[in-house]
């Protein structure tokens, strides 16, 4: 069993737009099942498919299992077993001993930029780059599973 410990932050777009970035990876993902206790997600990125099962979030941690699956299976699962998909470009930015993953959302979530950092412990100290804004780790609206059913474009 793997444990994911993750913090989420909004990204300051004006600073983000002016920094040098590596090439991003296009991600399409959708949710087969979502509840407070668990989510089951399908993702396609870098020519590979993935099936991910995540447990209930407690603080900023939750159990996570992820398995590579054939892309054709991932496409069929998205088409036949999920709601609307989430479309985004992900950038991996190294900062000291951590990797910040910045998601630039497209489609119904266009305009939203969210950065995530995975940690080894919930109280681990890390450096925040200049483009990091407000923390939204505990705001469920920013969970990808929530963005599927309540996209950023619908927010007031």
Residues involved in catalysis: 31
HSE-CB of 65 using CA atoms within 13 angstroms: 7
Q: How far apart are CA 22 and CA 7, in angstroms?
A: 22
Closest CA to 55 of 112, 111, 5, 118: 5
Neighbours of 3 (CB within 10 A): 10
C-alpha 92 chain-centroid distance: 12
* 117 within 8 A of 53, measured Cβ to Cβ: no
Closest CA to 107 of 43, 145, 153: 153
135: β partners: 9
């Amino acid at each position: 069993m793997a444990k994911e410990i993750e913090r989420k932050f909004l990204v300051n777009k004006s600073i983000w737009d002016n920094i040098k970035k590596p090439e991003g990876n296009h991600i399409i993902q959708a949710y087969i099942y979502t509840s407070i206790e668990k989510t089951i997600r399908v993702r396609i990125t870098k020519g590979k498919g993935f099936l991910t099962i995540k447990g209930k979030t407690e603080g900023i941690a939750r159990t996570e299992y992820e398995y590579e699956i054939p892309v054709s299976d991932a496409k069929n699962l998205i088409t036949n077993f999920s709601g609307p998909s989430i479309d985004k470009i992900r950038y991996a930015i190294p900062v000291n001993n951590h990797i910040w993953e910045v998601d630039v959302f497209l489609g119904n979530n266009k305009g939203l930029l969210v950065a995530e950092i995975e940690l080894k412990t919930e109280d681990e100290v890390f450096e925040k780059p200049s483009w990091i804004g407000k923390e939204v780790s505990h705001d469920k609206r920013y969970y990808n599973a929530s963005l599927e059913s309540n996209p950023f474009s619908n927010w007031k």
